[in-house]
Amino acid sequence: MRRPWLAAVAPYLWLGLFFAFPFLLVAKLSLSHTVLAIPPYAPQLDLSQGHAGVPAFVHQLSFETYQRLTSDRVYLSSYLSSLRFAGLATAILLVIGYPIAYGMSRFPPPTRQALLMAVILPFWTSFLIRIYAWIAILKPAGLLNAALGVLHLGPLSLLNTDTAVVIGLVYAYLPFMVLPLYAVLERQDERLIEAAQDLGCTATGAFWRVTFPLSLPGVAAGALLCFIPMVGEFVIPDLLGGSGTLMLGRTIWTEFFANRDWPAASAVAIVLLATLAVPIALFQRQQAKVTA
Amino acid sequence: MTPSSTPLVRFEGVTKRFGETVAVDGVSLDIAQGEFFALLGPSGCGKTTLMRMLAGFVQPDAGRILLNGQDIAGLPPHRRPSSMMFQTYALFPHLNVEKNVAFGLVQQGWDKARAAARVEEMLSLVRLEGLNRRRPDQLSGGQAQRVALARALAPGPQILLLDEPLAALDRKLREETQLELKALQRRLGVTFMIVTHDQDEAMVVADRIAVMRVGGVAQVGPPAEVYERPTSRYVAEFLGEANLFPDGPAFTLVRPEKMALTDKPAPGALAGEVAEIAYFGDRTRYVIRRAEGRPLLVSQANTGPRLGLEVGDKAWVSYAPEAAVALGS
Amino acid sequence: MTRGPSLFNRASVGLGLAFLYGPIALLVLYSFNASRLVTVWGGFSTRWYAALAQDGQMLDAVWVTLRVGLISASAATVLGLLAAVTLVRAGRFRGRALFSGMVYAPLVMPEVILGLSLLLLFVAVGLPRGFWTVTVSHTTVTLCYATVVIQARLAYFDRSLEEAAQDLGCPPVSAFLKVTLPNIAPAVAAAWMLAFTLSLDDLVIASFTSGPGATTLPMRLYSQVRLGVNPEINAVSTLLIAVVTLGVVAAGAIQRRRSVSS
């Protein structure tokens, strides 16, 4: 193909219009203020007078919304709590997910394929529904307490708590941690382990000195793939968390739908985006290395 | 084979750069109609690049490539009258043997009957009749290669380009196939151009060889000429083994098989001690260490009783004056 | 592996799978529970499925969701194919970093941000929200997943096959269509399935970008779920799970048959 980059035109335009450009709108909106109108924000760019409309428009933009965010402690709590939840859940996922991925890679190829399918399959079924299933398990009259009751253990009130949110996050994102780890572990050359053992390592030693270090790119990929979206997660805190469970995804949703405060929602979104810019850039770099 | 007056292919001062590296540096070559031409050289010398420029997959940075006197620079690969047999065979996995071979014909719009007849003709030419319905992953390496050959020849190209075609085969198969290729080319009369790093292969199949060094051509000529009368040290050392005697700024070459070895002193012979003996079955190779100068390589055909020399024995090496070739640097 | 999986390996995988499938198994089981209560088994019954068949709003939502999914998945796969071809074949070109960034970013970006920005776009250009805004949004978001899947296969594909086709007389685009595409078809199909499933499943983006008359199934389920556990939801879930499982198993069987026969 003489000019393979021609294939890029359609997706480039599409993504430019529907992905990149809207971010400018979010930024602009974060500098606006609410009004009782449709749409519920001002200023709006009025080009009916020609270019003169632009300075007037810019003049009305302000950082007022951001000032509101910094003055109200709720936003800061929400921000920190999102990072905490995401961090905790990602850490748990690393501890749980690694043995699963490693175990999978130890089976012979036909079994491995079947296990891979088994791990991917829940991913293909509805996310919402799987979280909903946890409501049935965790609610006061739910299955967990029924099971505990059989063992004469006290009922746990886990639904609408932070713990439930962590459980939900771990449950929902498990495939996102296991798959990149499995991909890296599966590709490792067994002969490296044999060489390590030949040179005096025990099985455990060989794992820590050879297998694990070589799997670090998979660890990084899995961690980023989980952490980044978790910070802005909405469904899980909304369904499983309590009214006191603050997460940024929920904050944005509430500001937008409940309070009709679009500028605030946008400002929070911009802050969230700014926070995630570095992890996202790290993720992009990893992807670029893989595809180069 | 005497080249006809207008060469089929002419490279004129062709240059190709990849970033900082100059892969091909002002190469000029002629390939005559109907000859089996070999581009021989180590990896990285630019031979594959040169072939791909002829096929149209790479554009030269400078120079011209002429086919039948016409500059083919603007022509994309699918419009060039050359056909390539790829090193990895590149058989289409989703098509069976028949459809693979017919691919170029379908592309040119041949009607079904004519195409089918041609496919049969090609398959019997490469001795693969009856395998029409097989898929590429059901073929052995040797069979896959023949299909690739049949596919490339089917559209009747003006020149067939073979990119290290025998590299994946084991030695016996490779040698048999070399001879088959040569016979095939003679029969068809189609111009073949082969790229290889194996000098034995080039010498067996080719009518003329272009010995390449990084970026350029060192010498062009028939196998015997290039082997017996190399014009440079590089060519001498690339094609087989060489004994080089310094002669001022230049060298004199004597091939190991042209040297005579005795276990008794002979007048005018060079004295030395046997350092290594390698037995190849049909010949024995000796490394003779001298008091001064580089060790000598002597190769003797095992036609009669063996010399009975052992490592450490004294030996004397001599050669006829006609066997010495003067080289440039 | 010279040594097979150890007890620890087997236990990890077993527990992992149990954890993943436990809640799913539960849903399926309880969709056949005559009793509303999770803690009581009232006997086997299909009454919730019957109720589901009567539930007009739910059925409408399913219909909308299927149409959105079909169209957005197809568009996403086409765009994803073009993007993958670019990323694998085009080498360095001006704007490649930006392009690559735009393609991969939605993979990790929180959905609320994507939903919000898309909605603002539609508001800014005065586009009424409904079926087409959801479809366009889903296309945009699933496009990156399609690209990743296709690109993985394409990067692995032997380019000399395409060169051989050109050498035999095929113009470049034709060579791609006749040789490359048939050989990466499973990856393209997988990309489509992935985009379809993601669309079927999406709640957040649909909530932001949909409008009256275009309520998707997740949106409907969500509003129901907030009201509490409803066994009809179990029935819908089980049906969805069954459909997806059948699809995946069928795809796997077709794959196996193709590789055995050829």
Distance CA B123, CA A206 (A): 54
pLDDT digits (tens, 9 = 90+) for C93-112: 778 888 888 888 888 888 89
The amino acid sitting at C205 is I
Q: Is the peptide bond before A263 cis (omega within 30 degrees of 0)?
A: no
Is C83 within 8 Å of A11 (Cβ atoms)? Answer: yes
When pLDDT is averaged across residues A38-55 and rounded to a whole number, the result is: 68
How high is the pLDDT of residue B238? Answer: 92
The token duo for C143 is: 């496009």
Mean pLDDT score of chain C: 86
Q: Are A269 and C116 inside 8 Å of each other by CB? A: yes
Other Cβ atoms less than 10 A from the Cβ of C181: the count is 13
Query: Where are chain B's structural domains?
Result: 9-228, 241-327
Give the 3-state secondary structure of chain A: CCCHHHHHHHHHHHHHHHHHHHHHHHHHHHCCEECCCCCCEECCCCCCCHHHHHHHHHHHCCCHHHHHHHHCHHHHHHHHHHHHHHHHHHHHHHHHHHHHHHHHHHCCHHHHHHHHHHHHHHHHCCHHHHHHHHHHHHCCCCHHHHHHHHCCCCCCCCCCCHHHHHHHHHHHHHHHHHHHHHHHHHHCCHHHHHHHHHCCCCHHHHHHHHHHHHCHHHHHHHHHHHHHHHHCCCHHHHHHCCCCCCCHHHHHHHHHHHCCCHHHHHHHHHHHHHHHHHHHHHHHHHHHHHHC
When pLDDT is averaged across residues B194-204 and rounded to a whole number, the result is: 94
Mean pLDDT score of chain B: 90
Q: Are C161 and B92 inside 8 Å of each other by CB? A: yes
When comparing pLDDT for A59 and A13, which is higher? Answer: A13
Answer yes or no: is pLDDT of C262 > 50. no
Answer yes or no: is pLDDT of A288 > 80. no
Min Cα separation C138/chain A (Å): 11
Third-level CATH fold of B241-327: OB fold (Dihydrolipoamide Acetyltransferase, E2P) (2.40.50)
| DSSP-derived 3-state class of residue C41 | coil
Answer yes or no: is pLDDT of C37 > 80. no
Residue of chain B minimizing CA distance to C171? B78
Min Cα separation C69/chain A (Å): 13
How high is the pLDDT of residue A290? Answer: 65
Q: Is the peptide bond before A43 cis (omega within 30 degrees of 0)?
A: yes
pTM for the structure as a whole:
0.80
Domains and CATH numbers, chain C: 55-261 (1.10.3720.10)
Contacts 24+ apart (CB under 8 A), B287-292: B288/B261, B288/B315, B288/B317
Which of A8, A257, A273 is closest, CB to CB, to C82? A8
How high is the pLDDT of residue C229? Answer: 63
When comparing pLDDT for A210 and C251, which is higher? Answer: A210
C252 forms beta bridges with none
Distance CA B327, CA B231 (A): 5
For residue C215, the number of C-alpha atoms closer than 13 Å in the C-beta half-sphere is 14
For residue B200, the number of C-alpha atoms closer than 13 Å in the C-beta half-sphere is 10
Distance CA C37, CA B253 (A): 98
How high is the pLDDT of residue C194? Answer: 85
Domains and CATH numbers, chain A: 20-62 (no CATH), 74-291 (1.10.3720.10)
pLDDT digits (tens, 9 = 90+) for B69-87: 899 988 888 889 999 999 8
Angle, helix C217-225 to helix C56-89, in steps of 10 degrees:
120
Q: Which of A121-125, A285-289, B104-108 has the highest mean pLDDT?
A: B104-108
When pLDDT is averaged across residues B15-29 and rounded to a whole number, the result is: 91
The token duo for A202 is: 């025990």
Which of C170, C175, C183 is closest, CB to CB, to B93? C183
The token duo for A183 is: 């991909």
Angle, helix C131-155 to helix C96-108, in steps of 10 degrees:
110
Answer yes or no: is pLDDT of C80 > 60. yes
Q: Give the residue among A60, A49, A24 at the shortest CA–CA distance from A266.
A: A24
When pLDDT is averaged across residues B281-292 and rounded to a whole number, the result is: 91
Distance CA B224, CA B272 (A): 30
Please state the CATH superfamily assignment of the domain spanning residues B9-228 in this structure.
Answer: P-loop containing nucleotide triphosphate hydrolases (3.40.50.300)
Q: Give the residue among B245, A275, A234, A289 at the shortest CA–CA distance from C100.
A: A289
The token duo for B29 is: 């070559």
Q: Which residues of A touch C116 (CB under 8 A)?
A: 26, 252, 256, 265-266, 269
Answer yes or no: is pLDDT of A86 > 90. yes
Confidence label for A167 from pLDDT (cuts 50, 70 and 90) = very high
Neighbours of chain C (3+ CB pairs under 8 A): A, B
DSSP class of C36: S
How high is the pLDDT of residue C179? Answer: 93
How high is the pLDDT of residue C1? Answer: 42
How high is the pLDDT of residue A206? Answer: 82
How high is the pLDDT of residue B74? Answer: 83
Region of B53 please: left (phi>0), alpha (psi -120 to 50) or beta: alpha
Confidence label for C261 from pLDDT (cuts 50, 70 and 90) = very low
0.85 surpassed by complex ipTM:
no
Share of residues in chain B with pLDDT > 70 (%): 98
Q: Are C102 and A12 inside 8 Å of each other by CB? A: yes
